[in-house]
Structure 1
Amino acid sequence: MDWRGWHDHYDRPGSTLARRLAVVRERIRLALDEAPPGPLRVVSMCAGQGRDLFGALAGHPRASDVAARLVELDEGNAALARRAGEGAGLRSLEVVVGDAALTRHYAGMVPAELVLACGVFGNITDEDVERTLEHCAQLCARGGTLIWTRHRQPPDLVPRICAWLAERGFEPVWLSDPEAGYGVGVHRFAAEPQPLASDARMFTFVGYDALPSGGGAIR
């Protein structure tokens, strides 16, 4: 899969991915608006080119409060993310080229006030989705926000994702309409974060095209 070329779908006006990206950016901005004063830690798994975060930070008054770590396996996308982030006005930016499934890549930056899991859950098995949500209770600070995406094609896993999050201390904030053509969820962590597992694997990236449930071009 050419993941750098895959990002070109975001540049097609009116495409499902372009519409989803706009919603994710809006929800990031709202999460920053509602965050308490002071430094804000942000981690993004399978971050791609960082279009969601950097697009949301553009012109946002809290941008200078943000320290971010983006984890992305593709070196080309990581380089583009680093370049895009240079002018974003962040307190600190790290773009880690590595497997976003490995918890060690988040050490020192969690628990974070904002955790992004966008473009992840449509590329891994259902069992790994649940496992990743278990680890999100280690990644999120108390009161922190988790923003995630998942396609709504049958079998629709979104209701189960919401139930799994509730079991782990996450409260629903917002969920996109089922008819939107994509799924975006926002949850707030209301429990105390668990210690980060030192070297655990949260998931194995399979790819939407290899999963039995499919998922089309939407991750």
Structure 2
Amino acid sequence: MVDWHSWHEDYDRPDSALAHRLRAVQTLIKQALDDAPAGPLRIVSLCAGQGRDLLEVLAEHPRRDDVQARLVELDPRNAAVAAETVNRHRLTGVEVVTGDASLIDHYADLVPADIVVACGIFGNITDEDIERAIGFLPQLTKTGGTVLWTRGRTVPDRVPLILNWFDDRGFDLVWVSPPDVSYGVGAHRFTAHPEPLVPGEQIFTFVGSDVIRAADRAR
């Protein structure tokens, strides 16, 4: 079973695949902030971990005071690290919630959002659940809003399927990492109209990357 607190240590190894992935996600978050219209901005981050992808960008970004954000993370150790980062950088519009990020009710008062960070999820849920989770994103994302996601490109590569599922739900591709790197990072812009949030729904079921890899080996 993965220890999601120690898992973050790879971020501190500059040449690790995880560190490269983090830099790619941060670049896309910065771009989304740069491109966002003037005025208040709303951001939600699912399975936020220690919040490095979003918080390290917000700390230095000129739009930081425009942002109201909520990071939801189940592991209390990671949530505590994220909360300490928020306090250290005086990100007064950012809230860290320790809870199950798959429960849509956590986001009810902040959606549809300008930016939805859904990183670290698709590699830990089944293919059917990836499609289901993408199906919920129109409830979370405003028209013109950006969704960021990650999924490793281990064989079989799910990224082409993910791109198709986003396309089916009214999202246009902004950028996806090339297939010759080990990590998968993508950004999509929502071009349709947001759907009403349905209270009480579960967006996905987190089973863990070890379970997913074992299932792939058994195919």
**TM band (smaller chain):** over 0.9
> Matches of 2:92 and 2:11 in 1, distance apart?
27
Aligned pairs for 1:27-106 within 5 A = 27-106=28-107
Aligned pairs for 1:147-158 within 5 A = 147-158=148-159
Aligned to 2:171: 170
Aligned pairs for 1:126-165 within 5 A = 126-165=127-166
Shift of 1:88: 3.5
Q: Which runs of 5+ in 2 are unaligned?
A: none
Which residue identity lines up with residue 188 of structure 1 in the other structure? R
Contact 1:65 1:91 in 2 (8 A): no
Which residue identity lines up with residue 58 of structure 2 in the other structure? L
Output the TM-score relative to the length of structure 1. Answer: 0.95
Q: Which runs of 5+ in 1 are unaligned?
A: 215-219
Aligned to 1:114: 115
Which residue identity lines up with residue 2 of structure 1 in the other structure? D
Contact 1:63 1:89 in 2 (8 A): no
Spell out, residue by residue over 1:30-64, the C-alpha distance to the aligned partner (whole angstroms, 9 max, x if none): 00000000111000000000000011113211111
> Matches of 2:93 and 2:189 in 1, distance apart?
24
> Matches of 2:89 and 2:29 in 1, distance apart?
14
Q: Secondary structure of 1:43's partner? A: strand
The two structures, once aligned, show a CA RMSD in angstroms of: 1.1
Q: Secondary structure of 2:180's partner? A: helix
Among residues 181, 192, 216, which one is paired with 1:213 in the alignment? 216
Spell out, residue by residue over 1:58-107, the C-alpha distance to the aligned partner (whole angstroms, 9 max, x if none): 32111111111001000110011011112444351211111111101111
Output the TM-score relative to the length of structure 2. Answer: 0.95
Contact 1:57 1:63 in 2 (8 A): yes
> Matches of 2:179 and 2:14 in 1, distance apart?
21
Deviating above 3 A after TM superposition, structure 1's stretches of 4 or more consecutive aligned residues are 87-91
Of stretches 51-60 and 125-134 in structure 1, the one that deviates more from structure 2 is 51-60
> Matches of 1:119 and 1:200 in 2, distance apart?
20
Instruction: Count residues with an aligned counterpart.
Output: 214
Which residue identity lines up with residue 213 of structure 1 in the other structure? D
Which residue identity lines up with residue 160 of structure 1 in the other structure? L
Counting aligned pairs with the same residue, the percent is: 56
Which residue identity lines up with residue 4 of structure 1 in the other structure? H
